[in-house]
């Protein structure tokens, strides 16, 4: 079983967008995928609820339980969408079961501050030393000063940076249909798929 955790305690950084598209990519490769939702809002499971029947199958799993994180026994690949404010028992549980951790971050001073604190917390945990941890920029306009500041910040984090995803309505439109970049004709989302190449290579590793 492979467990990929998408985590950042800052809300609104794009965790669900990243999680659903990771699940969509794995499903497009013929993998048996379970999308686990640790968030009380259950956004990822809500998205699965509108996913078309003809789309590649992704199994849903409500990972929020009073008994802690109990992985499905029949899962092959698990993608965990985690909540804002991830800390304490839930952070310990997801890190304990993770193989890979992907940290999304937007180019704002608030996101960078929250992410730095989260990264420092991770680095202090012995279990994190065994994980494949990487970072990806979200909703980044490469032409802006904010983007320059983000790149400088990412360079000092100490984890591999898998590039940046642009802010595009493709994610919004596809999410409203229960779809991902990997469910539609590549010509529709060609530029975005280019952004995803380093992430896909990391997932395949």
Query: 3-7, 65-69, 77-81: lowest mean pLDDT where?
Result: 65-69
In angstroms, the CA 77 to CA 85 distance is 25
pLDDT at 8: 92
Q: What is the pLDDT of residues 118-149, one digit of tens each?
A: 888 888 888 888 899 999 999 998 888 888 99
* Residue-range domain boundaries for the chain: 2-204
In angstroms, the CA 53 to CA 110 distance is 39
Beta partners for 202? none
Q: What is the pLDDT of residues 18-52, one digit of tens each?
A: 999 999 999 999 999 999 998 878 899 999 999 99
For residue 67, pLDDT over 70 is answered with no
Q: How confident is the model at residue 62 (pLDDT cuts 50, 70, 90)?
A: confident
CA distances from 22 to 6, 127, 148, 149, 180 (A): 9, 23, 26, 26, 9
Q: Are 82 and 101 in contact (CB under 8 A)?
A: no
pLDDT at 66: 58
pLDDT at 202: 97
Q: Are 115 and 10 in contact (CB under 8 A)?
A: yes
- Which of 7-21, 37-51, 150-164, 180-194 is modeled with the greatest confidence? 180-194
For residue 87, pLDDT over 80 is answered with no
Topology (CATH level 3) of domain 2-204: Rossmann fold (3.40.50)
Q: Are 46 and 97 in contact (CB under 8 A)?
A: no
Instruction: Give the rounded percent of residues in the chain with a pLDDT score beyond 90.
Output: 62
Tell me what the mean pLDDT of segment 62-71 comes to.
74
For residue 68, pLDDT over 80 is answered with no
């Amino acid at each position: 079983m492979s467990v990929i955790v998408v985590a950042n305690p800052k809300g609104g950084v794009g965790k669900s967008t990243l999680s659903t598209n990771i699940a969509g990519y794995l499903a497009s490769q013929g993998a048996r995928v379970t999308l686990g939702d640790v968030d009380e809002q259950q956004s990822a499971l809500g998205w699965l609820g509108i996913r078309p029947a003809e789309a590649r199958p992704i199994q849903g799993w409500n990972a929020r339980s009073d008994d802690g994180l109990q992985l499905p026994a029949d899962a092959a690949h698990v993608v965990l969408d985690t909540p804002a404010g991830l800390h304490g028992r839930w952070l310990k549980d997801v890190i304990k079961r993770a193989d890979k951790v992907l940290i999304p971050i937007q180019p704002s001073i608030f996101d960078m501050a929250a992410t730095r604190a989260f990264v420092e917390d991770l680095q202090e945990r012995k279990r994190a030393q065994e994980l494949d941890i990487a970072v990806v920029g979200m909703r980044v306009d490469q032409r802006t000063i904010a983007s320059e500041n983000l790149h400088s910040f990412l360079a000092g984090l100490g984890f591999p940076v898998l590039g940046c995803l642009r802010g595009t309505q493709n994610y919004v439109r596809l999410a409203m249909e229960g779809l991902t970049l990997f469910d539609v004709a590549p010509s529709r989302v060609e530029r975005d798929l280019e952004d995803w190449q380093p992430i896909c290579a990391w997932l395949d590793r």
